C-alpha cells in the first residue's frame, strides 16, 4: 500500500481556503455522524443531500451538485480525501489565489458529478464525497508540477518506508486506475464513483491550461525541469537526544556437548 503523506513543494502563502475546506468537511461529517447507527436514516439523508442521478433526470435536487461534495460515506472515506487535499491543495491555491481556487475546486466537483451523471443517468445510488473536486486538484497539480517529489508511505506487511516519487507517476497512475475502474466496474451497485474521479481530474487539467500557458507552457517546464519555481522543501530525520542502548549479544549454545 502506497499513501501520499507530503510533497516537497512549499506554498508561498497560507492556504486559507484549503484549511477552510478541510474544516468544513470534518465539521459536516461530525454533525451527521450519529446517523451511522441507523442505516435507514443515513440512506434517507444521503438520498436527500447526495447527488442522485435519477433525481436530477427528473429535474430535482440541483443543490446536491454542491452539497454532495461535503458528505462522506465513512471515516476512511473522509480521511483519505482530506489527506489528498492537504498534500496537494495548498499548491493549487498558491497558483490560483484564494477565491479563484475555491471556484476552481467547486467547478471540478461539478464536472465530476456531470460525468458520473452522464455515465449513469438513471442510477438510484446517491454519490457522496469530495473525491471529484479533489481529483481536479490532482489534475491541475500534475499539469503544473509533473516532476515535483511526493513522499509516499510504503506499507507492506512488515515493511514501512517513505519513498519519494515524481508527481507524474503518482497522479498519472491514479488517473489511469480510475478510468480502468470506470470501464470494468458494474454500474448497478454502489462503490467507487470512478467516472466522477476521472471527470474531476480532466476538468482540473483543462481549467489549469490557461494558467500553465500564462506561466510559459513548455518553457515553464523546461526552465524549472518540471519542478516548482522555488526551492523544494528538504525533509531530514532529526537526531534524537535519547541515548542509544547497545544490544546485548545473544547467547549462542556451544556446538558440542560437555
Q: Is 74 part of a structural domain of the chain? A: yes
User: What distance in Å separates the CA atoms of residue 65 and residue 77, rounded to the nearest whole number?
Assistant: 19
- Of the two residues 160 and 5, the one the predictor is more confident about is 5
Instruction: For the chain, give the percent of residues with pLDDT over 90.
Output: 57
Residue 246 pLDDT grade (very low, low, confident, very high; cuts 50, 70, 90): low
User: What distance in Å separates the CA atoms of residue 165 and residue 174, rounded to the nearest whole number?
Assistant: 13
User: What distance in Å separates the CA atoms of residue 132 and residue 195, rounded to the nearest whole number?
Assistant: 9
Nearest to 102 by CA among 209, 24, 11: 24
pLDDT at 76 over 50: yes
User: What distance in Å separates the CA atoms of residue 173 and residue 4, rounded to the nearest whole number?
Assistant: 13
β-bridge partners, 163: 152
CATH of the domain at 80: 1.20.1540.10
pLDDT at 64 over 90: yes
Q: What is the mean pLDDT of residues 150-170?
A: 81
Provide the pLDDT for residue 113. Answer: 95
The residues, any chain, with a CB within 8 Å of residue 121's CB and separated by 6 or more, are 53, 54, 56, 57
Residue 155 pLDDT grade (very low, low, confident, very high; cuts 50, 70, 90): confident
Question: Could you read off the pLDDT of 224-237 as tens digits, one per residue?
Answer: 778 777 677 766 64
- Please give the helix or strand (H or E) that residue 218 lies within, else none: helix 218-224
- Number of folded domains in the chain? 1
Provide the pLDDT for residue 227. Answer: 75
pLDDT at 252 over 50: no
- Report the b/e string of 40-53 with b at 16+ CB within 10 A: eebeebbeebbbbb
Provide the pLDDT for residue 99. Answer: 96
Q: Is 182 part of a structural domain of the chain? A: yes
Q: Is 161 part of a structural domain of the chain? A: yes
Provide the pLDDT for residue 108. Answer: 97
Provide the pLDDT for residue 236. Answer: 60
224 burial (CB, 10 Å; 0-12 / 13-18 / 19+) is middle
Question: Could you read off the pLDDT of 180-219 as tens digits, one per residue?
Answer: 888 886 655 557 888 899 999 999 999 999 999 999 988 8
Structural domain of 180: 2-224
Q: Is 26 part of a structural domain of the chain? A: yes
Question: Could you read off the pLDDT of 111-145 as tens digits, one per residue?
Answer: 999 999 998 899 899 999 999 999 999 999 999 99
Q: Is 115 part of a structural domain of the chain? A: yes
Q: Where are the alpha helices (DSSP H) in 10-97?
A: 16-32, 39-49, 53-57, 64-67, 75-96
Provide the pLDDT for residue 229. Answer: 75
Q: Is 251 part of a structural domain of the chain? A: no
Q: Is 176 part of a structural domain of the chain? A: yes
Q: Is 257 part of a structural domain of the chain? A: no
Q: What is the mean pLDDT of residues 19-37?
A: 96
pLDDT at 257 over 60: no
- Write down the pTM of the prediction: 0.85
pLDDT at 104 over 90: yes
Amino acid at each position: 500500500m502506497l499513501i501520499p503523506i507530503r510533497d516537497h513543494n512549499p506554498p508561498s502563502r497560507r492556504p486559507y481556503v484549503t484549511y477552510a475546506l478541510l474544516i468544513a468537511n470534518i465539521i459536516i461529517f461530525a454533525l451527521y455522524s450519529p446517523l451511522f447507527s441507523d442505516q435507514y436514516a443515513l440512506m434517507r439523508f444521503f438520498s436527500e443531500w447526495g447527488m442522485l442521478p435519477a433525481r436530477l433526470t427528473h429535474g430535482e435536487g440541483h443543490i446536491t451538485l454542491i452539497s454532495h461534495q461535503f458528505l462522506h460515506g465513512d471515516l476512511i472515506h473522509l480521511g483519505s480525501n482530506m489527506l489528498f487535499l492537504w498534500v496537494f491543495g495548498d499548491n493549487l491555491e498558491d497558483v490560483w489565489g484564494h477565491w479563484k481556487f475555491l471556484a476552481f475546486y467547486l467547478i471540478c466537483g461539478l464536472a465530476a458529478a456531470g460525468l458520473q451523471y452522464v455515465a449513469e443517468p438513471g442510477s438510484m445510488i446517491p454519490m457522496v464525497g469530495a473525491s471529484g473536486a479533489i481529483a481536479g486538484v490532482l489534475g491541475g497539480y500534475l499539469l503544473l508540477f509533473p516532476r515535483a517529489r511526493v513522499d509516499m508511505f510504503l506499507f507492506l506487511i512488515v515493511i514501512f518506508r517513505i519513498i519519494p516519487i515524481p508527481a507524474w507517476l503518482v497522479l498519472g497512475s491514479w488517473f489511469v486506475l480510475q478510468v480502468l475502474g470506470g470501464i470494468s466496474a458494474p454500474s448497478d451497485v454502489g462503490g467507487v464513483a470512478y467516472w466522477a474521479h476521472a471527470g474531476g481530474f480532466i476538468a482540473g487539467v483543462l481549467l489549469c491550461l490557461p494558467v500553465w500557458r500564462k506561466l510559459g507552457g513548455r518553457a515553464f517546464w523546461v526552465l524549472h525541469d518540471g519542478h516548482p519555481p522555488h526551492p523544494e522543501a528538504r525533509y531530514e530525520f532529526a537526531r534524537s537526544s535519547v541515548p542509544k542502548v547497545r544490544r546485548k549479544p545473544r547467547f549462542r549454545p556451544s556446538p558440542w556437548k560437555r
